[in-house]
Structure 1
Amino acid sequence: MTQETPTVLARWVEAVEAELELPAGSVDVTEVLDLARDAAHHVARPAAPVTTYLVGYARGLAAGAGPRLPDDQPDDQLAAQASRLALGWEPASTRGDT
Structure 2
Amino acid sequence: MTAYRYRALNPQGKLVRGMLEGDSERQVRSQLRVQSLRPVEVAVANRPEPSSSTWSAPLLRRGISAGDLALLTRQLATLVQSNLPLDEALQAAAQQNRSARIKGTLLQVR
Q: Could you tell me the TM-score, scaled by structure 1's length?
A: 0.36
Q: Could you tell me the TM-score, scaled by structure 2's length?
A: 0.33
> Higher relative CO (CA 8 A, sep ≥ 6), structure 1 or 2?
1
- Bigger share in helix: 1
> Greater Rg, structure 1 or structure 2?
1
- Bigger share in strand: 2
